[in-house]
Amino acid sequence: MTEVVTAAQMRGIESAAIEAGAVTGAALMERAGAGVVAAILRQWPEAQSATILCGPGNNGGDGYVIARLLAERWWDVRVLGMGDAEAMPPDARANRAAWQGEVAPLTRANLEAATDTDIVVDAIFGTGLTRAPAGEVLSVLKALGDCAAPLVAVDAPSGLCLDRGIPLAREGSVPKCDLTVTFEVPKIGHFIADGPACCGALEVVDLGLSHWRGKLGADTTRLIDAVPMVPPTEGTPHILPNFRKKTGHKYDNGHALVVSGGPSKTGAARLAARAALRIGAGLVTVASPPTALAENAMQLTAIMTRRCGGAAGLSEILEDARFTALCLGPSLGVGEQTRAMVRAALGPRFVVLDADALTSFEEDPSELFEAIAAVGEPERVILTPHGGEFGRLFPDENAALDAGDISKLDAVREAAQRSGAVVLLKGADTVIASPDGRSSIHAAHCARSVPWLATAGAGDVLAGLIAGLAARSDDLHRAAADATWLHVEAARAFGPGLIAEDLPEMVPRVLRDMGV
C-alpha cells in the first residue's frame, strides 16, 4: 500500500533530505517542474500554449520552472505572477529571475484575457497554504472554474487544504482541475472530502526521496490500492495473500455468524452472509429469531441457519469457539434487545457492528465503548458507520468534522481512540482507523468511481465481506481495508444497474482476475 502524508510530513521529508545534503531545494524544484511538464506533454500532446499562474511561494517557484521548460519547447507561454519577487523564498525567487519572459500581475482581468491558451497551470498555492484566500486571489480562483482550457494543478488545486481535503475559503473557491500533479507521495487531502473532485486525475512525480519517506512513523496513513492515479497502478499484489484461502479443512478458513432481524427484516443478514461466504469464510451461519427461521431457511442453501432467541440464545451459540467472526446490526432493530445482543456478542472473536447495532447506542455511546473495553482484547471489534451513524456515536468528533476543524481522517482516528474499536466511516472516501494508530483511506474516485454503489443493502454486503475475511484472518484492520477495496472492485466489475445482490456474485470474478 502507498502512504499518504500531511503537508507537514511532506515538509519533514523534504527538509530531512536537504539537511542531509542529499539534494538541494533548487534540484527538487527542477525535478518537480519537469515532472509536471512531462505529465502535461503526455496528457495533451497537441497543446502548444500555456498560461501559468504563479503564487508567492515555492509552488509558484515550480510554476516558473514549468514556464521556462515549456518555453524551451517553443510553447507560447504567458505568466501571471503574484506578490513581490524579492519576498519569495530563495529557490522560487531564483526561478522567477530565470524566467526570461514578462510576468503580468495575477488578476482576474488578466486571467480572463488569456482566452487563447491550450492549458492553464495553477501554481498559486500548494502545501504552504495557511489561511483562506481572500481578495483578488480568491477572485482568480473562482474565475478558474470558468476556464475553457484544461486546468493542471501543481501539487494541489489552490485553496484546497491538503490535510483536510476542504476549501479553506468558502465553497466554489477551489478550482476543479483536470489533472493534479503532486510530488513524491500523495497528500491526505487529495483523497478525502472535496479533494478528489477538485483534483481530477492524480499523478505522482517521484522526487527520489524514498529513503526519507521510509523514516515516517508507524502511524502514517496508508492508501488502500488501487488508487485513482494516472497511469493506473498495475496489479494489487499486497492484497493477494489475504484473499487466498488456506488449503485444508473448511474450519481452517473460519466460521462467520451473521445475526438476522425478525420476520420481513431478514434480507440484510442474508446479503451479509452471502458476501461472507463468497469472500471465503469456510462456513457461514445465519442466527435467526425463531419467528424468522422458516423465512431464512427457505432462501438459504450453503449458508446454515441456527435458531437464536435473543441475547441468551446468542450467548449459547457462541459457546462454540469455532465461530471466529460475527456480524451484527443489519435490520436487527433499534433498542435494548439489540444492545443486549451486542453485549453478548463481544468476546474472543472478531465482531462487526453495523447499522442498528450502532444506532441502538445513540442515547449513551459510552455504554458501548465500556462494553468493548471490558473485552480486554484490542482490535477485536469494528464499527462500520455511515455518516449519520457516525454522528450518533461520536457527536463531538462529528461536530468538529462538520465545522471543518478536523479532517475526516482525524475524526475517525479520534473515534477509534474513544471507542477502543476499529472504526470504518463509509463514503466515496472511506476512512479506517484503529486504536493502535493505524489508518487507511480508500477513495472511490476517477477510474474507481462507482456512483451505482449507493444502493440499498450495499452496506450490509460490506459488513459481510469484512466478517468473512476477518473469520479467517488475524488482523481486523487489514480485513476491513481489503474488504473495502473488494466491495468497490465488485461494483466496478458489474457496472451501472448494480443492486446489492450482485455484489457477492461479482467476487469470484474479481478474485479470479487478480490471480487469487
Interacting partner of 279 out of K ion, ligand NPW, none (Cβ under 5 to 8 A depending on kind): none
Shortest Å, Cβ 184 to ligand NPW: 6
**254: nearest Cα among 285, 274, 283:** 283
- C-beta closer to ligand NPW: residue 133 or 200: 133
- C-beta closer to K ion: residue 144 or 154: 154
**333: nearest Cα among 305, 357, 307:** 357
Q: For residues 26 and 164, what is the distance between their CA atoms, to the nearest angstrom?
A: 28
From 35, 56, 282, 420, residue interacting with ligand NPW (rule: CB under 6 A): 56
- C-beta closer to ligand NPW: residue 198 or 283: 198
Q: Vertex 47, ends 42 and 53: CA angle to 5°?
A: 95
Q: For residues 372 and 353, what is the distance between their CA atoms, to the nearest angstrom?
A: 11
Q: For residues 123 and 55, what is the distance between their CA atoms, to the nearest angstrom?
A: 6
Question: Any binding-site annotation on 376?
Answer: no
- C-beta closer to ligand NPW: residue 204 or 463: 204
229 near ligand NPW (CB under 6 A): no
Interacting partner of 158 out of ligand NPW, K ion, none (Cβ under 5 to 8 A depending on kind): K ion
For K ion, the binding residues in 146-175 under the rule CB under 5 A are 153-154, 158
Question: Any binding-site annotation on 459?
Answer: yes
For ligand NPW, the binding residues in 60-99 under the rule CB under 6 A are 60-62, 89
**330: nearest Cα among 386, 278, 377:** 386
List, as one string, the DSSP characters of 138-198: HHHHHHHTT-SS-EEEESS-TTB-TTT-SBSSSTT-S---SEEEEESS-BGGGTSTTHHHH
From 133, 167, 228, 261, residue interacting with ligand NPW (rule: CB under 6 A): 133
- Joined together, the cell numbers standing for residue 172 give 466554489
**187: nearest Cα among 161, 168, 217, 216:** 161
Question: Any binding-site annotation on 61?
Answer: yes
Interacting partner of 122 out of K ion, ligand NPW, none (Cβ under 5 to 8 A depending on kind): K ion
6 near ligand NPW (CB under 6 A): no
| H helical segments located in 190-239 | 195-199, 210-213
Nearest residue by C-beta to K ion?
158
Binding mask 487-506 for ligand NPW (x = CB under 6 A): --------------------
List, as one string, the DSSP characters of 454-472: -STTHHHHHHHHHHHHHTT
512 near ligand NPW (CB under 6 A): no
32 near ligand NPW (CB under 6 A): yes
Task: Give residue 482's Cα distance to chain centre.
Answer: 12
For K ion, the binding residues in 93-122 under the rule CB under 5 A are 122
Task: Give residue 73's Cα distance to chain centre.
Answer: 38
Place of cell 481572500: 134
Q: For residues 69 and 91, what is the distance between their CA atoms, to the nearest angstrom?
A: 16
Question: Any binding-site annotation on 131?
Answer: yes
- C-beta closer to ligand NPW: residue 64 or 323: 64
Q: Where is the binding site for AMP, in residues?
A: 426-430, 459
Binding-site annotation: residue ranges for (6S)-NADPHX: 58-62, 126-132, 155, 268, 386, 460
Q: Return binding residues.
A: 58-62, 122, 126-132, 155, 158, 268, 386, 426-430, 459-460
Residues that bind K ion (CB under 5 A): 122, 153-154, 158
